[in-house]
């Protein structure tokens, strides 16, 4: 099976989501079947029955990639506020929402393909060959797909040429990001770009950007000591001077527009971090002038909460991946009316959650959802509903027993939240898709008894 495969970063636990554009073009003869291809074909009848359960999964772009196979019929909701990696360079030069997390999940959900030709970066000369259709990476790609992909890459190139004074750099570049950015710019619709990507790659992925917009989305965090951090990178993994290729000229009219050029960071940097000066008090969206705004969520996101069976808060950075999907108008009431399930605690804390216990994770989610994301009103109509924890989270799934005390378990049980530990092999504190699905099936079965 041939494919177009560029590899930006091979770190991150070998997650398939680290590939950039893994494009299957044919089906092996021994795998030929008259029935349509399935993203997660069931191994047996029991698993096929489990796939009838539908999930809404909130997660980060790479944080939840390793356990995607635990959810057969799933709708993945992803943030559009990442400002690192090659997304930062696209945002700096062209603008638009961040598509890095969406691209990562799209790649993860492409049906399996044979290994391709990995490249750690895209030099300008290599990019020229790709755009002109002469690169060896096009070998084996059907002509119709090749010309569709190449057409949008040419469109992307034309947008760069219009802004040549900004000196776009292809270092750490991602073909998948370039394609999605071009499709989004051409259609003026991020959902349309996702649909085109899924169609070309034969993926059955159901992926929703949490916000539908054609503009850059920026998040900010207010710490308990009053300090304010702007942008996902500053909150989660600030980049030191040597890791930054350069700087663009700041907009004198905007206190936020100081976009750095091609913000690159190592995946290992999240395990070796400098803790925040104090804990995060709240996360919110801001406009280009640093003012707090309350954008509306993707309507399909809200409707999926009512049409799917189970909501799962999956793995990913708490404050920069999960919370941006919650700090929006109407999300709290939609979740409370749906079937919430569980929060899977990250195996280890990071810069955003240094010193957090399991209770801190759950309280952060609950506090965010109970906050108000609309203009202040006056009069009798200003009453706000405060939901209990059990309206948002019914189960807590974890691998690290050190953060789960007997006292904590008893407190959560009183609030309607149960704790379940996922068994891991060899003492490695990481979620595995098989173990996660087994625990989910056990919990859901207990609900019906």
DSSP output for 126-184: HHHHHHHT-SGGGTT--HHHHHHHHHHHHHHHHHHHHTGGG----TT--HHHHHHHHHH
Cβ distance 356 to 344 under 8 Å?
Answer: no
356 pLDDT exceeds 60? yes
Euclidean distance between CA atoms 381 and 359, whole angstroms: 33
User: Mean per-residue pLDDT for 126-142?
Assistant: 85
Contacts of 65 (CB under 8 A, 6+ apart): 15, 16, 17, 104, 105, 108
**Which residue would you say has higher pLDDT here, 348 or 360?**
360
Annotate 359-420 with DSSP letters as a single string: HHHHHHHHHHHHS--S----SGGG------GGGT-SEEEES-GGG--HHHHHHHHHTT-EEE
399 pLDDT exceeds 80? no
**Which residue would you say has higher pLDDT here, 90 or 140?**
90
**Number of residues that make up the chain:** 449
**Which residue would you say has higher pLDDT here, 251 or 361?**
361
4 pLDDT exceeds 90? no
* Predicted local distance difference test score (pLDDT) of residue 251: 52
* Predicted local distance difference test score (pLDDT) of residue 2: 41
* Predicted local distance difference test score (pLDDT) of residue 184: 96
* Predicted local distance difference test score (pLDDT) of residue 38: 32
pLDDT band at 156 (very low <50, low <70, confident <90, very high): very high
User: Mean per-residue pLDDT for 95-109?
Assistant: 91
Euclidean distance between CA atoms 418 and 80, whole angstroms: 31
305 pLDDT exceeds 90? yes
Summarize pLDDT for 217-273 with one digit per residue, the tens: 999 999 999 999 999 989 988 876 433 333 344 454 454 544 555 555 555 455 677
The angle, 0 to 180 degrees and rounded to 10, between the axes of the packed helices 100-108 and 85-93 is: 130
Closest Cα partner for 106 from 164, 65, 158? Answer: 65
pLDDT band at 107 (very low <50, low <70, confident <90, very high): confident
**Which residue would you say has higher pLDDT here, 194 or 61?**
194
Whole-number mean pLDDT of the chain?
A: 77
User: Mean per-residue pLDDT for 324-350?
Assistant: 84
* Predicted local distance difference test score (pLDDT) of residue 3: 43
Closest Cα partner for 393 from 357, 440, 436, 341? Answer: 341
**Which residue would you say has higher pLDDT here, 60 or 190?**
190
Pairing of strands 292-293, 310-313: unpaired
**What sign for the dihedral angle of Cα 235, 239, 245, 250?**
positive
Euclidean distance between CA atoms 19 and 40, whole angstroms: 19
Closest Cα partner for 353 from 282, 279, 284? Answer: 279
* Predicted local distance difference test score (pLDDT) of residue 405: 62
Percentage of the chain beyond pLDDT 70 is: 72
Closest Cα partner for 182 from 158, 199, 208, 200? Answer: 158
391 pLDDT exceeds 80? yes
pLDDT band at 55 (very low <50, low <70, confident <90, very high): very high
Q: Please tell me what DSSP assigns to residue 236.
A: H
Cβ neighbours of 225 (radius 10 Å): 10
10 pLDDT exceeds 50? no
């Amino acid at each position: 099976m041939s494919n177009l495969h560029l590899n930006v970063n091979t770190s991150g636990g070998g997650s398939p989501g680290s590939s950039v554009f893994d494009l299957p073009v044919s089906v092996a003869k021994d795998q030929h079947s008259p029935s349509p291809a399935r993203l997660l074909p069931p191994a047996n009848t029991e698993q096929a029955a489990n796939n009838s359960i539908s999930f809404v999964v909130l997660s980060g772009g790479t944080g939840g990639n390793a356990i995607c196979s635990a959810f057969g019929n799933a709708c993945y909701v992803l943030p559009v506020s990442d400002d690192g990696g090659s997304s930062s360079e696209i945002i700096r030069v062209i603008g638009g929402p961040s598509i890095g997390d969406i691209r990562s999940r799209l790649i993860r959900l492409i049906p399996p393909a044979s290994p391709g030709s990995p490249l750690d970066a895209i030099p300008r000369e290599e990019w020229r060959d790709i755009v002109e259709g002469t690169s060896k990476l096009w070998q084996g790609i059907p002509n119709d797909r090749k010309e569709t992909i190449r057409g949008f890459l040419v469109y992307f190139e034309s947008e760069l040429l219009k802004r040549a004074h900004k000196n776009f750099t292809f270092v750490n570049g991602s073909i998948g990001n370039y394609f999605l950015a071009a499709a989004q710019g051409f259609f003026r619709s991020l959902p349309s770009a996702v649909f085109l990507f899924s169609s070309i790659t034969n993926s059955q992925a159901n992926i929703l950007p949490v916000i539908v917009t054609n503009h850059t989305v920026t998040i900010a965090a207010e710490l308990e000591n009053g300090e304010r951090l702007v942008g996902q990178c500053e909150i989660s993994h600030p980049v030191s001077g040597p890791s930054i290729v350069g700087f663009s000229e700041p907009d004198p009219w905007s206190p936020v527009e100081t976009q750095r050029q091609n913000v690159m960071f190592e995946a290992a940097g999240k395990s070796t971090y400098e803790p925040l000066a104090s804990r995060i008090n709240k996360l919110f969206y801001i406009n280009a002038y640093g003012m707090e705004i309350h954008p509306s969520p993707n309507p399909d996101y809200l409707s999926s909460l009512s049409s799917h069976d189970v909501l799962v808060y999956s793995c990913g950075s708490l404050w920069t991946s999960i919370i941006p999907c919650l700090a929006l108008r109407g999300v709290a009431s939609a979740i409370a009316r749906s079937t919430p399930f569980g929060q899977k605690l990250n195996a280890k804390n990071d810069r955003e959650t240094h010193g957090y216990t399991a209770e801190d994770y759950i309280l952060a989610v609950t506090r965010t959802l109970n906050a108000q994301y609309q203009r202040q009103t006056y009069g009798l109509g200003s009453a706000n509903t405060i939901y209990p924890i059990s309206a948002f989270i019914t189960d807590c799934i974890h691998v690290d027993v050190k953060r789960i005390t007997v006292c904590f378990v008893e407190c959560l049980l009183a609030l309607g939240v149960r704790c379940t530990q996922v068994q891991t092999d060899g003492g490695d504190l990481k979620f595995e898709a098989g173990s996660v699905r087994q625990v989910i099936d056990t919990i859901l079965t207990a609900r019906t008894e």
